[in-house]
């Protein structure tokens, strides 16, 4: 009786399978910035999904059931790589199709196509959750976006060759738009170069490299090790109002440590959007950089 | 049962067979791909440059990933005499409460790697000491191969063979060091002798649906709880499962599953220090549910999980107590637990768990024996708090109250302090 019931349930499952008549390319992006870029280049020809949202720390995601169903049907997996998703991607990729396995055309790790900074000389977990591959938050340097967009265009044209010319056109438009934006941003950031900041985690290193800001300290004891009272006290003793201009956190960082330090030192805390959806304005990549620069300008104009 | 076995063998043969049949098709595809690569190369420098980045190979990358888990604990039990038997059940050694005092838990060593493009392999062994007088013992926990998606089974399908923590309920697939509590709940201790890692093969298929849906089936030697004691010839146990899951919104998700393991043993499953032997057909039904919520969207900072599993075991065979002769037995017992764990911040979590067994009625011949529950339902309550420094280290405090038999003399208050650390390869975490 129970075996019959089991068989029935299985049959039921197979027939309820929506035979998804979807001509669009399914793109599984690990982070919102890559979903946004996929939509810029892919336009109406792609259906992009982001496994994480701006309030989540992309290091720490659960390989939850819905991600399995999404990756199972993906034509392209588009992530930062460099170890950012190492805690949850490998288990999901095992459930994906062969085209999107590592080494194949559908497995696209952005950091393989950009310069990578912060590569540690010494690999020891005593230094925290170090990434032997370097800093994976590559999307916050606008020049990297161009490099990644170029590779994305190449891959889309191979995977979906019938729409090759469409992707090429979208790509050309995006590059024009982006290069103009870089010219504009370069003027806007002149006033904030050289300022001194305290960070929570190394999430913004690419942005600050580009903006030529100086990182004085990090609230995390070591990468991935949450702030402790003694570490914060230590920072407090070594900083005063004049040596640091702002404290920068991302939307997913806990703010207790930053607020505590700010109260003691009167150094303002600034939340940068970090990715698409990180604040109200940041609904596409250009807006993300616009908003980040505007927030920094406002916070630093009298420093 | 026989038909079912036949069906599974047929399925497995079918998929291996199709692999050869589709070889031709594969050749065509390779040709197609080669043509594409030619095309790409002809495009000139710009496009070929990009792909060279992904071909970097480091010498050491061929070594398997190595991961080590160390764990140690201190146990204090209020009941100093030997632990009472779980009223109404005969349980295996690993299902017992463990030793008192300072001790090492299972120290695990894991090696895993892709074998080639088509297979993945993993091996885990644990070193344990069961008592002060016994030698350290190596336990072979897992050693399996699994097809990768490049194996050309239909999309979403994979085959796993060897010895592994098979798909059954929520916890069984996870290694004990990933558990939220220092010990396992009663149904795992009673029915699975802590966990089910028989030798066998399992095929699983993830459906191409919008929500998560997976079905699977397997056949096993039958040399582990819940079956134990195979005849060594035919498959001693078979299993099947189906589970679904999805998101409620971006910060809430759930999973629900049903599982069955069925098997017949001929040489007997021994319990309660080998005094009680069951021979016959055992069917174990399991259903599990898990819900998790990230109140701020970020599971790194706060998370609430709710988890429950219900077990039902039907036994049809004979029980032999102290070699006192075979007694016919046909009955169903139940076991369940429900737990909730809350993460207050990146470092601290707290959890609560309740588990209970419900004993079956026994035939006249077994009245008054360990198998006679006398209407008593054994229970266990656990409260825990743990502190996590990084992804790799955790310290846990747990208070556990077992009431495995009736009477106030059977209340066992257990206090545990435990550390669990992992060194080396950064394994991905299963949901």
ipTM of the complex: 0.82
Residues of chain A numbered 11-30 and touching chain B (CB < 8 Å): 13-14, 16-18, 20
- B294 neighbourhood in chain A, CB within 8 Å: 56
* Short-list B429, B167, B174, CA closest to B303: B429
Range in A11-25, B142-156, B288-302, B356-370 with the lowest mean pLDDT: A11-25
SS3 A40: helix
Instruction: Say if the Cβ atoms of A252 and B148 lie within 8 Å.
Output: no
Contact by Cβ (8 Å): B318, B328: yes
C-alpha to C-alpha distances, B152 to A99, B36, B117, B190, nearest whole angstrom: 11, 20, 11, 40
Note the pLDDT of residue A278.
93
Q: How far is CA B10 from CA B1, B3, B15, B153, in A?
A: 14, 10, 9, 15
Pairing of strands B137-147, B157-163: antiparallel
What pLDDT does residue A222 have? 85
- Quote the minimal CA–CA distance from A232 to chain B in Å: 16
Task: Mutate one of A14, A18, A66 to test the B interface: name it (highest B CB count within 10 A).
Answer: A66
At residue B43 the predicted structure's pLDDT band, cuts being 50, 70 and 90, is very low
Q: How many residues does chain A have?
A: 303
For A219, A227, A262, B91, B420, the CA distances from A257, given in Å and listed in that order, are: 7, 7, 9, 50, 27
In the prediction, which pLDDT does A125 show?
Answer: 77
B402 falls in which pLDDT band (50, 70, 90)? very high
CA A24 to CA B123: how far, in whole Å? Answer: 40
Contact A62 B156 (CB under 8 A): no
**In degrees, to the nearest 5, what angle opens at C-alpha B361 toward C-alphas B355 and B363?**
145
Question: From CA B36, how far away is CA B32, in angstroms rounded?
Answer: 6
Residue B68: pLDDT over 90: yes
pLDDT at B133 over 80: yes
Is A119 near chain B, with CB under 8 Å? no
Count of Cβ atoms closer than 10 Å to residue A234 Cβ: 13
Q: At residue B278, does pLDDT exceed 60?
A: yes
In angstroms, what separates the C-alpha of A109 from chain B's closest C-alpha? 9
- Residue B53 is predicted with a pLDDT of 46
C-alpha count within 13 angstroms, C-beta hemisphere, residue B148: 18
pLDDT at res. A2: 54
- What are A73's two structure tokens? 């049907």
Residue B211 has a pLDDT of 92
Query: Cα(B147)–Cα(B150) distance, rounded to whole angstroms?
Result: 8
Global model pTM greater than 0.80: yes
Q: What is the pLDDT of residue B390?
A: 84
Window from A123-127, A229-233, B121-125, B162-166 with minimum mean pLDDT: A123-127
Asked if residue B174 lies in contact with residue B157, where contact means CB atoms within 8 angstroms, the answer is no
- CB contacts of A96 in chain B (<8 Å) are 149
Picking from A33-42, A135-144, B79-88, B190-199, which range would have the lowest pLDDT averaged per residue? B79-88
- Scored b (16 or more CB within 10 A) or e, B397-426 reads ebebebbbbeeeebebebebebbbbbeebb
Greatest extent of chain B over all pairs of C-alpha atoms, in Å: 86
Q: Where are the domains of chain B?
A: 1-36, 64-424
Q: Which of A64, A128, A154 sits opposite B50 (nearest CB)?
A: A154
Residue of chain A whose alpha carbon sits nearest to that of B240 = A6
Whole-number pLDDT of residue B21: 47
Average pLDDT over residues B308-333: 94
- Give the span between the Cα atoms of B183 and B412, in whole angstroms: 14
Chain A residues closer than 8 Å to B43 by CB: none
- Cβ distance A55 to B296 less than 8 Å, yes or no, reads yes
* Chain B residues touching residue A98 (CB < 8 angstroms): 148-150, 152, 155
The tokens describing A59, both together, are 């290091």
Upper half-sphere CA count for residue B123 (Cβ side, 13 Å) = 6
- Chain B residue numbers touching A60 (CB-CB < 8 A): 298-300, 391
Residue B307: the pLDDT is: 98
Q: What is the pLDDT along chain A (303 residues), one digit of tens a residue?
A: 555 555 555 555 554 444 444 689 999 999 999 999 999 999 999 999 999 999 898 888 888 999 999 999 999 999 999 989 988 999 999 999 999 999 999 999 999 999 999 888 877 777 777 778 899 999 999 999 999 999 999 999 999 999 999 999 999 999 999 999 999 999 999 989 999 999 998 899 999 999 999 988 899 988 888 888 899 998 888 886 668 899 999 998 888 889 998 998 889 999 999 999 999 999 999 999 999 999 999 998 876
User: Is the separation of the CB atoms in B217 and B233 below 8 Å?
Assistant: no
Helix or strand or coil: residue A282?
coil
Burial class, A228, CB count within 10 angstroms (exposed 0-12 / middle 13-18 / buried 19+): middle
List CB contacts (< 8 A) between A224 and chain B: 390-391
Name all domains of chain A by residue range, CATH numbers in brackets.
Answer: 23-117+126-184 (3.40.50.1980), 190-300 (3.40.50.1980)
pLDDT tier, B35 (very low <50, low <70, confident <90, very high otherwise)? low
Q: Do A62 and B148 touch (CB under 8 A)?
A: no
Q: What is the mean predicted confidence (pLDDT) over B74-95? A: 90
Contacts of B157 (CB under 8 A, 6+ apart): B15, B203, B204, B205, B206
Task: Choose among B120, B215, B245: nearest Cβ to A65.
Answer: B245
Closest by Cα among B145, B158, B159 to B116: B145
* Count of positions (residues) in chain B: 431
Q: How confident is the model at residue B105 (pLDDT cuts 50, 70, 90)?
A: confident
**pLDDT value for A277:** 94
pLDDT tier, B426 (very low <50, low <70, confident <90, very high otherwise): low
Band (pLDDT 50/70/90 cuts) for residue B311 is: very high
Residues 6+ positions from A195 with CB-CB distance below 8 Å? A213, A214, A245, A246, A300, A303
Which of chain B's residues have a Cβ under 8 Å away from the Cβ of A81?
none
* Rounded Cα gap, residues B185 and A186, in angstroms: 60
A281-290, B157-166, B193-202, B405-414, range with the lowest pLDDT:
B405-414
Superfamily of domain B64-424: Porin (2.40.160.10)
For residue B261, which of B287, B279, B243 has the smallest C-alpha distance? B287
In terms of Cα–Cα distance, which of A98, A91, A106 is closest to A27?
Answer: A106
Residue in B closest to A66 by C-alpha: B246
Least confident span in A55-64, B225-234, B279-288, B411-420: B225-234
Instruction: Tell me if A157 sits within 8 A of A167, measured CB to CB.
Output: yes
Strands B411-424 and B65-77, how do they pair?
antiparallel
What confidence score (pLDDT) does residue A242 get?
66
Look at B268 and B165; give whichever has higher pLDDT.
B165
Q: Of B350, B74, B310, B315, which is closest to residue B186 (Cα–Cα)?
A: B310
A 259-298: CB under 8 A from B: none
Q: Which residues contact B280 (CB under 8 A, 6 or more apart)?
A: B264, B265, B315, B316, B317, B318, B329
CA distance B259 to A283: 44
User: Which comes out higher in pLDDT, residue B13 or A119?
Assistant: A119
In this complex, is the C-beta atom of A115 within 8 Å of any C-beta atom belonging to chain B? no
Residues 6+ apart with CB under 8 A from B256: B243, B244, B245, B287, B288, B289
Which of A14, A28, A50, A72 is the best residue to mutate to test the B interface, defined by the most B CB atoms within 10 Å of its own CB? Answer: A72
Residue B297 is predicted with a pLDDT of 84
- A160 CA to chain B: closest CA distance, Å? 12
pLDDT for res B49:
39
Tell me what pLDDT residue B378 has: 96
CA distance A191 to chain B (A): 34
pLDDT band at B272 (very low <50, low <70, confident <90, very high): confident
Phi-psi group of B280: left, alpha or beta (phi > 0 → left; psi -120 to 50 → alpha; rest → beta): left
The tally of CA atoms less than 13 A away on the side-chain side of residue B339 is: 27
Chain A residue with minimum CA distance to B43: A154
Q: What is the pLDDT of residue B84?
A: 79
Please answer whether residues B126 and B108 qualify as being in contact, where contact means their C-beta atoms are separated by less than 8 angstroms. Answer: yes
Q: Please count the residue pairs, one from chain A and one from chain B, whose beta carbons lie less than 8 angstroms apart.
A: 159
pLDDT score recorded for residue B44: 40
Confidence (pLDDT) at B121: 94
Q: CA-to-CA distance for B328 and B318, rounded, in angstroms? A: 4
CB within 8 Å of chain B, chain A residues 196-235:
224-226
């Amino acid at each position: 009786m129970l075996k019959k019931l089991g068989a029935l349930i299985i049959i039921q499952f197979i027939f309820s399978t929506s035979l998804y008549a979807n001509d669009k390319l399914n793109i599984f992006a690990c982070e919102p910035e890559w979903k946004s870029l996929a939509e810029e280049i892919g336009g109406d020809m792609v259906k992009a999904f982001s496994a994480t949202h701006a309030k989540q720390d992309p290091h720490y995601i659960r390989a939850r059931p819905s991600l399995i169903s999404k990756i199972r049907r993906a034509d392209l997996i588009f992530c930062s790589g460099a170890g950012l998703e190492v805690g949850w991607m490998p288990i999901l990729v095992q459930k994906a199709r062969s085209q999107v396995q590592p080494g194949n055309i559908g497995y696209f790790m952005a950091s393989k196509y950009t310069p990578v900074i912060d590569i540690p000389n010494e690999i020891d977990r005593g230094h925290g959750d170090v990434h032997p591959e370097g800093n994976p938050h590559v999307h916050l340097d606008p020049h990297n976006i161009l490099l990644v967009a170029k590779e994305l265009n190449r891959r889309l044209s191979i995977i979906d060759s019938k729409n090759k010319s469409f992707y090429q056109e979208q790509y050309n438009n995006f590059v024009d738009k982006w290069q103009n934006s870089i010219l504009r941003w370069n003027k806007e950031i002149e006033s904030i170069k050289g300022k001194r900041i305290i960070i929570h985690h190394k999430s913004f290193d690419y942005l600050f490299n580009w903006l030529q800001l100086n990182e004085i300290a990090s609230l995390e004891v070591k990468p991935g090790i949450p702030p402790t009272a003694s570490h914060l006290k230590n920072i407090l003793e070594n900083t005063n109002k004049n040596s640091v201009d702002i404290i920068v956190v991302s939307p997913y960082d806990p703010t207790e440590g930053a607020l505590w330090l700010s109260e003691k030192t009167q150094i303002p805390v600034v939340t940068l959007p970090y990715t698409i959806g990180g604040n109200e304005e940041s609904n596409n990549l250009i807006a993300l950089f616009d908003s980040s620069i505007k927030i920094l300008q406002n916070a630093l104009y009298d420093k | 049962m026989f038909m079912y076995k036949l069906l599974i063998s047929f399925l497995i043969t079918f998929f291996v067979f199709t692999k050869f049949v589709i070889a031709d098709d594969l050749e065509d595809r390779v040709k197609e791909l080669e043509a594409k690569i030619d095309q790409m190369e002809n495009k000139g420098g710009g496009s070929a440059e990009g792909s060279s980045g992904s071909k970097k190979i480091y010498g050491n990358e061929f070594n398997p990933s190595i991961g080590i888990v160390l764990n140690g604990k201190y146990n204090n039990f209020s009941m100093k005499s030997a632990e009472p038997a779980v009223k109404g059940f005969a349980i295996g050694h690993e299902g017992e409460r463990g030793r008192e005092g300072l001790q090492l838990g299972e120290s695990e060593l894991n090696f895993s790697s892709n074998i080639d493009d088509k297979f993945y392999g993993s091996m885990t062994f644990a070193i344990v000491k069961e008592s002060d007088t016994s030698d350290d013992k190596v336990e072979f926990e897992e050693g399996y191969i699994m097809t990768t998606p490049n194996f050309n089974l239909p999309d979403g399908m994979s085959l796993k063979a060897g010895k592994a923590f098979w798909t059954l309920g929520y916890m069984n697939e996870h290694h004990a060091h990933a558990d939220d509590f220092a010990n396992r709940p009663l149904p795992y201790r009673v029915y699975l002798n802590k966990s089910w890692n028989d030798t066998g093969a399992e095929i699983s298929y993830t459906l191409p649906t919008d929500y998560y849906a997976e079905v699977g089936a397997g056949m096993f030697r039958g040399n582990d709880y819940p079956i134990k004691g195979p005849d060594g010839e035919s498959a001693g146990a078979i299993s099947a499962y189906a589970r679904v899951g999805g998101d409620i919104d971006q910060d809430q998700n759930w999973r629900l599953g049903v599982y069955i393991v069925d098997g017949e043993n001929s040489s007997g499953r021994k319990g309660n220090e080998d005094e009680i032997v069951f021979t016959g057909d055992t069917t174990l039904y399991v259903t599990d549910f898990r819900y998790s919520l990230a109140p701020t969207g970020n599971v790194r900072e706060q998370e609430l999980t709710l988890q429950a599993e219900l077990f039902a075991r039907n036994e049809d065979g004979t029980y032999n107590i102290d070699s006192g002769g075979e007694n016919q037995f046909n009955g169903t017992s139940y076991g369940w637990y429900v737990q909730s764990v809350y993460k207050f911040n990146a470092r601290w979590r707290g959890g609560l768990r309740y588990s209970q067994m419900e004993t079956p009625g026994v035939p006249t011949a077994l009245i008054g024996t360990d198998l006679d529950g006398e209407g008593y339902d054994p229970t266990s309550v656990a409260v825990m708090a743990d502190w996590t420094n990084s992804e790799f280290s955790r310290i846990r405090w747990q208070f556990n109250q077992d009431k495995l038999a009736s009477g106030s003399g059977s209340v066992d208050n257990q206090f545990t302090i435990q550390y669990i650390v992992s060194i080396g390869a950064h394994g991905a975490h299963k949901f």
